[in-house]
Amino acid sequence: MRLHRLRITAFGPFAEPQTIDFDSLSGAGIFLLHGPTGAGKTSVLDAVCYALYGSVPGSRQAPGTTLRSDHAAPDTPTEVTLELTAGGRRLEITRRPEQDRPKKRGTGTTKDKAQSWLREHTADGWTALSRSHQEIGEEVEQLLGMSREQFCQVVLLPQGEFAQFLRAGAEARGRLLGRLFDTRRFAAVETLLADRRRAAEAKVRAGDEKVLAAAQRLDQAAGHSADLRAWPLPGHQPGDPGLADAVRAWAAVARCSARERLTVAEYALAAVEGRHAAARRDAEEARELDRLQHRHAETARRADRLAQAGPERERVRALLDRARRGALVAPALELRGAAAAAHLTAAHAETLARAELPPPLAGAGTEQLAAVEQRLREDLGAAGAAQRAEQRSAEIGRERATLERESRDADERYQESAEWLARWEATRAALQEKVDSAQQALTLAEQLAGRLEPARMQLTAARRRDSLAADAAAAAGELLRAREEASAARETWLELKEARLRGIAAELAAALTSGEPCTVCGSAEHPDPARPAPGHVDRAAEDAAHARFEQAEERRAAVERRLAAVREAEAEAASAAGDATTAELLDLTADLSARHAAAHADAAALHTARERLARAEREHQARSSERLEAERRAAARASRREALDEEQASLEAELVLVRADSPSVAARARTLEDRIRMVTTAAAALRRAETTAARLKEADGQLADAAFKAGFDTTEQAADAVLPEYERTALQHRLDTCQAEEAMLADRHAERDTAAAAALPPAEPAAAAAAEERAAARLRSAASAVDAARVRCAELDRLSRQAEQELRALGPLREAYERVARLAGLTAGTSADNERKMRLESYVLAARLEQVAAAATVRLLRMSGGRYTLVHSDARSGGRGRSGLGLHVLDAWTGSERDTATLSGGETFFASLALALGLADVVTDEAGGMRLDTLFIDEGFGSLDEQALDEVLDVLDSLRERDRSVGIVSHVGDLRTRVQAQLEIVKQRGGSVVRHRTAGVTD
């Protein structure tokens, strides 16, 4: 990976766009990045990291911080663009963080979302690849082969962290190496084995719980017998190896005891069954004797009742015989009654029909009534033909009335239209005058509107001019106060600075350490260090005074900018307002507004006036056309009226002959229809009376014959003998019941066992039943005891098999748990087999640390003149600490090996720099051999003397053998003369700027 160009805008301390050309800086192999404190040296590295990964290093991404420069203009967006080569591809990455910007309309700000662009340079130029944050991040990590944490450790080389790495314990080293080499998969293996161990342990405990539960069920099935005194459960818990044998032994004893109780219960049941059978036979015999004795007594009672009911039975038999003979005459009686009822109805209807006939026809017969009906129907046919003519005559009358009504309406409309047309010219002239007046008002309103808007704008500008004048006066007073405050703060700061310089010797002496060289004279002895004088000013007081001075300067500058802005706005407002006063402009605007409102109100009637004129013209045209049409329709109505009069006169002459004495043909037809219906009804009633009389005579003869054949002397006797069907059925049922009772009593008198039972003493079935119930109760108790014993034996057998299955299933689980527990303890470093207590992840990191120490030693030997060698140690640390990540330094001058924490300040820098470079090589190889052509080293050179500095620079210069360029971030002044290519960060009031220096030349 090689960096080519970095462009920073409104980022960190940089307000204006700054461009850093890494190609020109990398030509010398080593370049220096320097500048005063707070200028923005580290911000350059942050910009590189942000362009690649979308975030700055974790130690500088504090919550609540922002990447945007406080010096930048509000409308200048924060943006970082990095051009680099990675994996043989030349890419350009541009990123903008989420930031606020001024709204395009109105006041206030709005938030822009974060944006990213990725482009690639090909033979055809720059090609856009993606604008997705996620896609760009994945592409960068794939090309570089490093995460952000690895990049910050390998490319940016923070020396402070590596100095801490040298002095840190095993846990801290493990955390750093774990981030760099991504040993999460080994930690995942440890976690996986620990989880499996817990799962296996849970399964074993669950198996033990199942065995204990089975033993508890065995105890319950055994009935907690007092004979089983070897109950094992209270003394055993889950995980006890002897639990299985105890459960098996106790289950065998419980099963044997249950089988013994079953045998005893079966013998007792056999004895009780014999006694119950004898009691049951005695009870059955007592019940049978009691039944026979009761049957004999009941038979005697029923025979007595049957003998007493003999006379009644004979009477019923006689009634039933007479009713049977009467049933033979019943059909003839019914036929004669129906014929008599029909003849009576017909005779009554004949009387009513003859009463309605006219006197000449009161005694007429059937033939005479038929002839009269025929003549009336002929007259009705002639009236039907004349009725249609009468309807047409009525229609003609209605048509003539309609014509008369239409004629009157047409005359009224014609007269009204004639009057309206006579007034047309005057109406049109009045409407046209209103249209012209409204059109003139509209023209005036447009002219006034054109003058009103400039007057309003001029009035607004005048008011703003007056307001800004007051603001400018206030700002001028505030500026005078700010200048006085800034001047006083500057004088105070300079006085404190001068006082601190007078006592700087005491301040330097306070930093001296016995045995350490003086930063001024270089001597390690300090015989008489200076002491601070009373009222000594330290650096903190000076810095505080300087900060107050800068704050006062910033307030003064802010007030100056605000005053300039107010005066500029005042000048613009005065130019727009002109020479007129605000009061004059206010009067002019009010006058124009009033005149414009009046003209606008008059012009509002233009549309209405035009609509009225157009509507009147359309009505004039319609009325003219309607007058011509009315004249044509009046002539047509006159012709139609004459034709209708002629047709109606002809029809009336024909109708006079048909109506006779009726008011109309329809009335004549209704009269004929009524007469026809009356004659027809009378003829039909006469025919029905003759027919029913003949049927009645025939029914009387049939009734007399039926009564004689049934044995009755008269028809009246036959009618009295007839009974309803339900009465005959009831009489027959009574006779059948008596006969059945006689047959049943005869059968019972023939039974020998009943008579024999009656001769014996009375039976006692209740006592026998009670004895049987007592025997049955004893039998049920014995049977229940046997069933309970059998169920207990079966349940104990089943639970014993279940417990044996649980015990067999527990064996493999216990073996699996022991195997997984050994592996988990070994990888976690808690097992006795792991002598050094090394975790699996620590073991892997120890191998990586050994590689890093070997790679770092190559450079450390050169920087220390062959004296120091970094050595990896896997010895256990003190106390309960674990081994594997120890780091020692071997001193070739003394031959002793000691901890890296004993190195001096300069030696620590040697070791940490060598360690950082070695770690960069190892991580690069771990990432797949990605070339890292650009590195940065951040601070740490101030602790080196001149010779050590030369040796370090020689080592860094040797990196060019691998075609690398190294950027040094430092305050050390000697480096400015030793390193030719330089990038200076200049701190200014409006934001820092970047300057390139090469061999004394500045651009």
Report pLDDT digits (tens) over 104-120. 777 888 888 889 999 99
Residue with tokens 């095993």: 170
Alpha-carbon distance of 875 to 226, in angstroms, equals: 63
Per-residue pLDDT band at 59 (split at 50, 70, 90): low
Alpha-carbon distance of 130 to 889, in angstroms, equals: 49
Question: Which tokens belong to 151?
Answer: 């990049």
- Helices 752-759 and 243-308: crossing angle, nearest 10°? 100
CB 91 within 8 A of CB 119: yes
Q: What's residue 881's pLDDT?
A: 47
Q: Which of 375-389, 458-472, 950-964 is least confident? A: 950-964
Question: Which tokens belong to 866?
Answer: 């062959």
Q: What is the pLDDT of the chain when averaged over all its residues?
A: 76
CB 154 within 8 A of CB 45: no
CB atoms within 10 A of CB 32: 23
Q: What's residue 334's pLDDT?
A: 77
Cα three-residue angle 240-243-247, rounded to 5 degrees: 165
Alpha-carbon distance of 310 to 303, in angstroms, equals: 12
Q: What's residue 961's pLDDT?
A: 53
What pLDDT digit, counting tens, does each position of 625-679 carry? 877 877 777 777 777 777 777 777 777 776 666 666 666 767 766 777 777 777 7
Higher pLDDT, 87 or 98: 98
CB-based burial label for 173 (10 Å; 0-12, 13-18, 19+) = buried
- 981 Cβ contact list (under 8 Å, min separation 6): 24, 25, 26, 27, 28, 30, 31, 32, 997, 998
CB atoms within 10 A of CB 443: 11
Greatest CA separation for the chain:
181
Query: Helix, strand, or coil here: 157?
Result: coil
Alpha-carbon distance of 649 to 647, in angstroms, equals: 6
Higher pLDDT, 75 or 217: 75
Cα three-residue angle 664-669-672, rounded to 5 degrees: 130
Q: What's residue 995's pLDDT?
A: 87
What pLDDT digit, counting tens, does each position of 468-519 carry? 888 888 888 888 888 888 888 888 888 887 777 767 766 666 667 776 776 6
Q: What's residue 92's pLDDT?
A: 93
Q: What's residue 83's pLDDT?
A: 92
Q: Looking at the DSSP assignment, which residues form a beta bridge with residue 696?
A: none
734-744 burial, b for 16+ CB within 10 Å, e for fewer? Answer: eeeebeeeeee
CB 793 within 8 A of CB 266: no
Alpha-carbon distance of 612 to 647, in angstroms, equals: 52
CB 44 within 8 A of CB 55: no
Amino acid in position 59: S
Amino acid in position 19: T
What pLDDT digit, counting tens, does each position of 878-903 carry? 544 455 677 788 888 887 887 777 77
Q: Which of 94-103, 241-250, 327-336, 603-612 is least confident? A: 241-250
- 596 Cβ contact list (under 8 Å, min separation 6): 445, 448, 449, 452
**Listed ranges 152-166, 608-622, 631-645, 797-811; the one with the highest mean pLDDT:** 608-622
Whether the per-residue pLDDT at 453 is higher than 50: the answer is: yes
CB atoms within 10 A of CB 915: 27
- What are the φ/ψ torsions at residue 785 (nearest 5 degrees)? -65, -40
Per-residue pLDDT band at 79 (split at 50, 70, 90): very high
Name the pTM for this structure: 0.39
Nearest-Å Rg of the Cα atoms of the chain is: 67
Q: Give the rounded percent of residues in the chain with a pLDDT score beyond 70.
A: 80
Whether the per-residue pLDDT at 179 is higher than 70: the answer is: no
Query: Helix, strand, or coil here: 253?
Result: helix
- What are the φ/ψ torsions at residue 927 (nearest 5 degrees)? -80, 0
Cα three-residue angle 401-404-407, rounded to 5 degrees: 150
Per-residue pLDDT band at 81 (split at 50, 70, 90): very high
Q: Which of 298-302, 723-727, 870-874, 956-960 is least confident? A: 956-960
What pLDDT digit, counting tens, does each position of 919-939 carry? 767 766 665 445 566 777 765
